[in-house]
A and B are shown apart, each in its own frame.
Chain A
Amino acid sequence: MTDKNKQDPRLPDETFEPYEEPRRIPMPVYWIAIALAIWGVVMLVQMSYSTKIGDKERASMSDQEVAATTPVKAEPKPDAGKALFADNCASCHGDAGEGVADAIPPLHASDVVKAGGASAITHIVMRGIGGPLIVDKANYDGEMPSFASVLDDKDIASIANFVASDLNGLKSTVTPAQVAEIRTASADLNPWDGGSGLAGLINGLPAQPASETAPAPSPDAAATAALAMHGTNEIWSCASCHGDKGEGTQTIPRLAGLAPAYLAKQLHDFKEGTRINDSMDYVVKSLSDKQIIELANYYGAMSSPSGARPSLEGDLARGEKIALEGDWTKNVPACFTCHGPSGIGVGDKFPGLAAQQPAYIAHQLAMWQGGSRHNSPLGLMAGIGKSLSDADRRAVADYLASLPPAAANAKLALAVSATTKETSNGQ
């Protein structure tokens, strides 16, 4: 293009309308614009292609599902009980109900089940059972959690019928309506007190050992309960955040049934600043060492129903796989190899995860990933937090929220006399 200013040099300057030369857009801008346009078109085509594939897959999947379910139609799926057993009972009682030698009684060919039938199974699943028990002449002394807060009547009926018929060859069955009656009758009752507790329930129960005497409540129990529920002038009430039954909510954790030593360690970590949280940093400031132990024992001994439900839209099947098998390609062992079968916790250092609030779990895993929680022994959780994607964190948190809360374990209580020093704030 020629310079237009020079076209008519006679025009007076005053009338000259200044205008900018239509300057050319630099070449690279065209390049980028065209590249973007091509990329856009490619993406569009790709996306519509993959949705098409996805649609096809979904269509064929639902075809398969229809094919798989049509023959059984109206009747409940015969495999429902089996699948529910695998999801809820197998992590302790074994895939085939074989139990674990010296730890968990078998459910296949169990003489307790044989004597009590589907109704006794329902009673046990509803309340849980703990304490000395003899099954098939072998001694057990464990703690089975109550499933009342995580399974509905229909599911419990399916499981009880599966255990009675498929694992023990019994004819006895329960209906969801009967399960509902047992639920009402069991409300607020403690777990069955071992084999001796079952004596009134099951006719012809094989001989059972005497129950253990419950440890006497600590003399300060009432004072500790008052502290937890109502707080004092300096100390906020724990229940105001953690709930009356220590069940937690959202990103505030469930405390009920966690090992006292674990709870006490966390409280000390907040106090020493090795674990950081604005609320808890403030709360622990005025707690004496003695109060920490008493509160830890108080919550550790508390059995309360689950206050958690899957709520993060996590993929439960994926969550179950991570919890039971892990994802070793990312160096994530099964969560239960450290946190115990069904997430009931192990000893003092590996807290229970069952029925923990899913938002809290996902949040803690994210904090380990980001490095803002770094108080786990050996940094064990830091590596695991880093290896899990956001979707995996939500999946496993939701799965754990679907599990029954572990029964409180009185044996883990801390000795209050172990207190070495009272802090200046101690009362």
Chain B
Amino acid sequence: MANKHPSDIPPPGPDNAERGQTALRAIYAISGGLALVVLGSLVVDFGWAPSWLTGQKSAPVAQVKGEKTDLFTPPDERTIPNDDFGASVRRGMAIFNQTGTNAHEFVGNDLSCSNCHLDAGRQAYSAPMWAAYPVYPKYRGKNKMVNTMEDRIHGCFTYSMNAQGSPSGGPPPYGSDVYRDLQAYFFWMSKGLPIGVQPEGAGFGKIDKPAKDPSRERGAEVFAANCAVCHGDDGMGQTDANGKQIFPPLWGPHSFNWGAGMHKVSSAAAFIQHNMPLSQPGKLSVQDAWDVAAFIDSKPRPKDPRQTDGISLQEADKKWHKSSADFYGETVDGVVLGTGYPKDAGASQSN
């Protein structure tokens, strides 16, 4: 700079001190800018930025309060292998979703497994199969013995599918392919879950005790307002134009029998609160769920198959229905509940 001709120096140019300041300002500017970038990315990372800014949609998870959202996701059905094992998995899935067609001989009502185990047995808190498979064999108080998965499914056919009214008159015999294929399906679905650990999402989830005792009268109102659109005013469900059952019957001769888990008011209340109305889980209050479960339980359905000849309704009530608060054996609207249906009126045998 010293060698330069004086005219080369721009007259209003900054002096040395000014130059130092400019450099300082540049440093401030750059570090400030960097700080802003870091801050911005932090804000986005932690999800503090409003969605209109980031363009990300916050997933609308309808949360049932107090429940976790980090649930196991079963594999997509498109990943079922194209081999002999996969063929068994597919048959199992078909039995699960259209039980009356694909296990015709052993089904005595108009239900399919997937009517209560929603989304083909995949939906959390509707007793998903991936949450059951890893915890069997298991001791069950219901039959006071260690149950294999086959025993468990045998029970489902006996009670929930009302096998006593089926063409064969009972559940699939032990060793039947029905069990083999269903278990292949459950096993395939549970891939990656640890054995012996009950995963979150198992069963129908928990439901608080209601503030008031469940009332079938209040339940009737809840039913008319929230359930009848799909299940019909008479609870018999609906079929399509071809006669295929679309919405399941909740009581009556073509529903589950008095031995099924769903007939327990507490189980039904939990299922209902976490899953119904379909697509609106958690819509009903805890009280509404208990009330409507009581209402459904106070309706006739096929008899408890454990109450065979020689066992009276009273004995059966004492033996199998005392621990659960249900309407078995009571007289409601002039009907004694638990007697089932004469054979010609529906699926079940007479009593």
Q: Which 3 A-B pairs have the closest CB atoms?
A: A34-B33, A142-B242, A30-B29
Q: Which of B34, B118, B229, B240 contacts A378 (CB 8 A)?
A: B229
Cβ of B234 within 8 Å of any chain A Cβ, yes or no, is: no
Is there contact, CB below 8 Å, between B101 and A331?
Answer: no
Q: Report the bound CA distance from A33 to B28 in whole Å.
A: 13
Is there contact, CB below 8 Å, between B241 and A344?
Answer: yes
Is there contact, CB below 8 Å, between A92 and B242?
Answer: yes
Is there contact, CB below 8 Å, between A349 and B94?
Answer: no
Is there contact, CB below 8 Å, between A33 and B33?
Answer: yes
In A355-411, the 8 Å CB interface with B consists of 377-380, 383-384, 386-387, 389, 406-407, 409, 411
In A99-153, the 8 Å CB interface with B consists of 99-104, 140-143
Q: Report the bound CA distance from A330 to B58 in whole Å.
A: 11
State how many residues of chain B have any CB contact under 8 Å with chain A: 51
In B306-340, the 8 Å CB interface with A consists of none
Q: Report the bound CA distance from A38 to B41 in whole Å.
A: 12
The interface bits of chain B over 122-134 (1 if a CB of A lies within 8 angstroms of the residue's CB, else 0) are: 1100000000000
Question: B-contacting residues of A (Cβ < 8 Å)?
Answer: 1, 4, 27-28, 30-35, 37-39, 42, 92, 94-96, 98-104, 140-143, 325-326, 328-333, 337-338, 340-341, 344-347, 349-350, 377-380, 383-384, 386-387, 389, 406-407, 409, 411-412
Q: Report the bound CA distance from A329 to B119 in whole Å.
A: 11
Q: Report the bound CA distance from A207 to B18 in whole Å.
A: 107
Cβ distance A340 to chain B, nearest Cβ, rounded Å: 4
Q: Which of A1, A31, A350 contacts B33 (CB 8 A)?
A: A31
| Given the contacts A35-B40, A329-B59, A340-B240, A100 and B101 also touching, CB distance less than 8 Å | yes
Q: Which of B29, B94, B98, B123 contacts A31 (CB 8 A)?
A: B29
Cβ of B100 within 8 Å of any chain A Cβ, yes or no, is: yes
Q: Which of B28, B122, B246 contacts A346 (CB 8 A)?
A: B246
The interface bits of chain B over 273-285 (1 if a CB of A lies within 8 angstroms of the residue's CB, else 0) are: 0000111110000
Is there contact, CB below 8 Å, between B33 and A333?
Answer: no
Cβ of B238 within 8 Å of any chain A Cβ, yes or no, is: yes
Q: Which of B34, B100, B123 contacts A101 (CB 8 A)?
A: B100
Is there contact, CB below 8 Å, between B32 and A331?
Answer: no
Q: Report the bound CA distance from A27 to B27 in whole Å.
A: 11
Cβ distance B256 to chain A, nearest Cβ, rounded Å: 18
Residues of B within 8 A of A94 (CB): 94, 98, 101
Is there contact, CB below 8 Å, between B244 and A341?
Answer: yes
Cβ of B156 within 8 Å of any chain A Cβ, yes or no, is: no
Q: Which of B28, B98, B123, B244 contacts A328 (CB 8 A)?
A: B123
Cβ of B30 within 8 Å of any chain A Cβ, yes or no, is: yes
| Given the contacts A32-B36, A95-B90, A100-B244, A27 and B239 also touching, CB distance less than 8 Å | no
Q: Report the bound CA distance from A142 to B239 in whole Å.
A: 11
Cβ distance B41 to chain A, nearest Cβ, rounded Å: 9
| Given the contacts A100-B244, A328-B123, A95 and B94 also touching, CB distance less than 8 Å | yes
For A387, the closest partner residue in chain B by CB is: B60
Cβ distance A194 to chain B, nearest Cβ, rounded Å: 13
Is there contact, CB below 8 Å, between B229 and A349?
Answer: yes
For B29, the closest partner residue in chain A by CB is: A30
Cβ of B226 within 8 Å of any chain A Cβ, yes or no, is: yes
Cβ distance A399 to chain B, nearest Cβ, rounded Å: 16
In B55-110, the 8 Å CB interface with A consists of 57, 59-62, 73, 77, 90, 94, 98, 100-102, 104
For A334, the closest partner residue in chain B by CB is: B119
Q: Report the bound CA distance from A338 to B241 in whole Å.
A: 13
Residues of B within 8 A of A330 (CB): 59-61
Cβ distance B192 to chain A, nearest Cβ, rounded Å: 18
Is there contact, CB below 8 Å, between A337 and B33?
Answer: no
Residues of B within 8 A of A95 (CB): 90, 94
Q: Which of A338, A350, A389 contacts B57 (CB 8 A)?
A: A389
Cβ distance B83 to chain A, nearest Cβ, rounded Å: 16
Is there contact, CB below 8 Å, between A378 and B280?
Answer: yes
Residues of B within 8 A of A102 (CB): 100, 243
Cβ of B37 within 8 Å of any chain A Cβ, yes or no, is: yes
Q: Report the bound CA distance from A332 to B77 in whole Å.
A: 17
Residues of A within 8 A of B20 (CB): none
Cβ distance A50 to chain B, nearest Cβ, rounded Å: 15
Residues of B within 8 A of A411 (CB): 241
Cβ distance A214 to chain B, nearest Cβ, rounded Å: 16
Cβ of B210 within 8 Å of any chain A Cβ, yes or no, is: no
Is there contact, CB below 8 Å, between B242 and A38?
Answer: no
Q: Which of A39, A331, A337, A345 contacts B280 (CB 8 A)?
A: A331
Interface centre among A38, A92, A103, A384 (most CB of B within 10 A): A103
| Given the contacts A39-B37, A96-B94, A331-B280, A27 and B32 also touching, CB distance less than 8 Å | yes
Q: Report the bound CA distance from A103 to B101 in whole Å.
A: 10
Q: Report the bound CA distance from A378 to B278 in whole Å.
A: 10
Residues of A within 8 A of B29 (CB): 27, 30-31, 34
Is there contact, CB below 8 Å, between A103 and B32?
Answer: no
Cβ of B230 within 8 Å of any chain A Cβ, yes or no, is: yes
Cβ distance A330 to chain B, nearest Cβ, rounded Å: 6
Q: Which of B28, B40, B119 contacts A325 (CB 8 A)?
A: B119
| Given the contacts A98-B94, A333-B279, A344 and B33 also touching, CB distance less than 8 Å | no
The interface bits of chain B over 1-44 (1 if a CB of A lies within 8 angstroms of the residue's CB, else 0) are: 00000000000101000100000010011101111110010000
Q: Report the bound CA distance from A328 to B77 in whole Å.
A: 14
For A106, the closest partner residue in chain B by CB is: B101
Cβ distance A127 to chain B, nearest Cβ, rounded Å: 17
Q: Report the bound CA distance from A383 to B60 in whole Å.
A: 10
Q: Report the bound CA distance from A103 to B98 in whole Å.
A: 12
| Given the contacts A331-B62, A384-B279, A341 and B240 also touching, CB distance less than 8 Å | yes
Residues of B within 8 A of A35 (CB): 33-34, 36-37, 40
Residues of A within 8 A of B57 (CB): 389
Residues of B within 8 A of A27 (CB): 25, 28-29, 32
Residues of B within 8 A of A378 (CB): 226, 229, 277, 280
Residues of B within 8 A of A4 (CB): 12
| Given the contacts A383-B279, A389-B57, A100 and B230 also touching, CB distance less than 8 Å | no
